[in-house]
Chains A and B, each alone.
Chain A
Amino acid sequence: AQKVTQAQTEISVVEKEDVTLDCVYETRDTTYYLFWYKQPPSGELVFLIRRNSFDEQNEISGRYSWNFQKSTSSFNFTITASQVVDSAVYFCALSEDNQGGKLIFGQGTELSVKP
């Protein structure tokens, strides 16, 4: 069965600190896709990144970076030099191949960045 676990319910940091959000997934498929979405206080869900299971290269986008490790079934998200605007709930999600793009979401991690 597929499952996504985000063990950190809430994280609070001070501005400019680095913070890592953990994501562990379970799937029996060999082909799958991992995603991160951001939900700011305004409520919409904003797509951040998609990673295919056959591509373990880490990715960096500005202050954001993602570490994908199949050996530990993890897809962690790091924000460097956090800012107040990063305050949001972050969701990790899994989509298995041939499932039409259905997303299985983790419970989310609420990040609070204080000035």
Chain B
Amino acid sequence: DAGVIQSPRHEVTEMGQEVTLRCKPISGHNSLFWYRQTMMRGLELLIYFNNNVPIDDSGMPEDRFSAKMPNASFSTLKIQPSEPRDSAVYFCASRREAYVADMNTEAFFGQGTRLTVV
């Protein structure tokens, strides 16, 4: 199993440019999460999908952020236009939804994309 794959690993862009982060979840996992990690705010959930449908995007900071999941094996997080305060590590995670009552499964994380907006 290749694990959750994110690309690129590092991205440096100028303020105002569009940035697209990509994620391939683990095969068979039907929940996908985008988290952001900063020194100030720690790890925070941006959005999550279940069966390719966005369920909760309350963590998306602004309209400049958008996320899509066109199919079960691919998701993108787009920032347009990017700003210096968007600089962070963005993690994608996936998990297999538990269909047994009172159960939960763990999420597995990708290696993250370190975004720097200058």
Contacts and interface: CB of A to CB of B under 8 A. Distances in A.
Interface of A: 31, 33, 35, 37, 42-47, 50, 52, 54, 91, 95, 97, 100-103, 105-108
B31 A105 contact: no
A52 B104 contact: yes
Contacts of B111: 42-44
A102 B45 CA distance: 7
Contacts, number: 62
B43 A43 contact: no
A37 B35 CA distance: 14
B74 interface: no
Interface residues of B, number: 28
A37 B110 CA distance: 13
A95 B35 CA distance: 14
B114 to A, nearest CB: 8
Given A43-B111, A100-B31, 5 more contacts: A45-B109, A50-B105, A102-B45, A103-B45, A105-B44
Given A47-B106, A107-B42, A101 B31 contact: yes
Interface string B90-116: 010101010000111111111110100
9 contacts: A33-B104, A45-B91, A45-B109, A91-B43, A100-B56, A101-B104, A103-B45, A103-B107, A108-B43
B5 to A, nearest CB: 12
Contacts of B114: 43
B55 interface: yes
A37 B95 CA distance: 15
Contacts of B50: 100
A64 to B, nearest CB: 15
B102 A100 contact: no
B48 A101 contact: yes
Interface string B42-62: 111100101000011000000
B21 interface: no
A50 B48 contact: no
Nearest to A108: B42
